Structure 1
Amino acid sequence: MENKSHNSAQRALEEKALHWHVRLHGGDATEADWLDFTSWLEAKPAHNDAYDVVALAWDDADDLPSALHIETSNENVQQGNVVAFPMDRLRKAVAAKPWAFGGGFGAAIAATLMLLVAPVYMAQNDAMDPTIYATAVGEQRIITLADGSTVTLNTDTSISVIMDKTSRRIDLQKGEAYFDVSHEKARSFTVAANSLRITDIGTRFDVRLNAESTLVSVTDGIVEVEPMAQANGGAKNKKPAVRLIEGQQAIHFSNSAEITVQPFDSTQVTTWKQGYLVFKNNDLGHVVSELNRYFSTPLSLAQTDMASLHFSGILQITDQDRALRDLTALLSLTVAKTDTGITLHQDDRVHSE
């Protein structure tokens, strides 16, 4: 009796995980759905384990119509939503022909899901050329997309946009962009950024490309982040996509498979949209590097040890002369301008005291 009760509970948990996966990736999930899903996921470790099996199997599964004999008729599919999942028949098929499902129940789950929700994922996309948007150094630009979403481009940024009947795809080619996404039932919204793919549903987030890393910062809602190789089916040891909620930031280095999640200070990430940067006890080397993103005349430090000086304050990024006045006044620095750049020096009269 105890074993029967356990099997029943496990079956219910599996079906709930399947429900969430189809709901969230079928194109009609709302922000409330994502929040409810997060609460369910965090309620018990078993919930997370069950969902991970589904998410991992989704990408690995092979076809199984011959083993399950499931027909994609109106009895099984209605407007792209799962009506009834044949869990018992699936278990029997896996037991009888394990080789057909990659040797695991999880792979069979994913293959069945693919069959049942085929109307969502198998629609034909019209071939379209991407639309390119870009900004110069020091320029910022707000782009309103055809779906009503907005993309704010930071300095020296380039994106390509493709929108078709089933998806909205953005490729952040360089720089930094802030996304305010309009919810749509029928089309997903994804951003390719360096080595990451970000999947969004009705939320706001910032993506920044650095020389060796990619940063994703969520200011509202939820996004899923995963390495591009894994998203395209190229990774051997696949892991579930990392889910970020408001106030969380993901950092991914190009030479690593790991994604680090940490809290972030929104005042230090998104204030560029208001024309200024906020620094809190940052090294001067970092401050100079950040300012150089916004101005065509580069700043440099006269002595290497100056890079370790600490700076806290607000600097304008629309006026280089004003930014220099504020920076040099707060740190007691002097400025030497040449035809090729600006060099910051320590004021010996102050620093020798």
Structure 2
Amino acid sequence: MEDCKKAFKRYRLRPRMLRDVANRQFSTSVLGHPVSFPICISPTAGQGFADIEGDKATAKAAESLNTIMIVSNCAFFTYKDISLAAPNAMLWFQMHLYKDRAVTRFLVTHAERAGFKAVVITVDAPVIGNRRGMKRGVMMAPREKYRMVNYYDPNNPEIRSAIANGDISLWEYATDQLVTTETWDGIKWLRGITKLPIVVKGVLTGNSAIEAVQAGVDAILVSAHGGRQLDGVLATIDALPEVVKAIKGSGVEVYMDGGVRMGTDVFKALALGARTVFLGRPILWGLANDGENGVKKVLEIVRDEFSLTMALTGCSKLDDIKASMVVHESQYLSKL
């Protein structure tokens, strides 16, 4: 993730001068749903560790500011509970394609009934990466206390019995459900069981983006899984242009997360082809600081910085933001 943050700094802005920027408009739509600004919320696990209301508080913040929240499958509350807490929020749900297709089907049905508007499939985790922070004990809560209630069918007596008897924790059950043999055919199967839009999260190359489009996805979230899955992968802002170029004209939307911390980062991502950005860690920081209000404050800070960046670059609307307004520093350094 440090690489993702540093990568943003290597892109320079090329502002235009003497433009009327008195009134700046940055509302947009994502998968046809209107949002107030192109800054949304990525799925992050363990929100209940940050605040007792966890995912529900984050959903309320998203609702109040009219933006999208992707709810992690590792949420502390059920999809229904989160939806009831923020009935007018635009909620998507994140999951994997699990070994037990019945579990996958159950999760999709569960989220559909709760009113969620899209399914986000994480595609960069056929296995769990080398999570060094977790190995060092950064995440101290016992796995069995981590109520990942959306991971399994609570009506399945075998699973309930195994967890209750301590034979397996929810975390162990969930990670055991990851599939090392999964292919894009899994997305095609998913397309056959739901009418919800499908977003794939974790694509970093043009080739994978093309395969995603061929599999029938509606959107691609360029993401490096918070930098926790694989050392040395591309920073997401560096991967973004290749993905956008590879599927140009397909009608599939492209988003990105990873390393977004400031309004200038949002501007750079949009200039390079993202329709919107998603925030992960900053949302958790706001949640830990002041619950729902903390999440709102984080979103408002980044939104206001983005508005300021638009003004200082001569943009009054999102369509004014062009790729020519952002350049990688290497284009200058190579001429020295």
Report TM bin, short chain: under 0.3
Higher relative contact order (CA 8 A, sep 6+): 2
Normalised to the residue count of structure 1, the TM-score between the two structures is: 0.24
More strand per residue? 1
Normalised to the residue count of structure 2, the TM-score between the two structures is: 0.25
More helix per residue? 2
Structure with higher Rg: it is 1
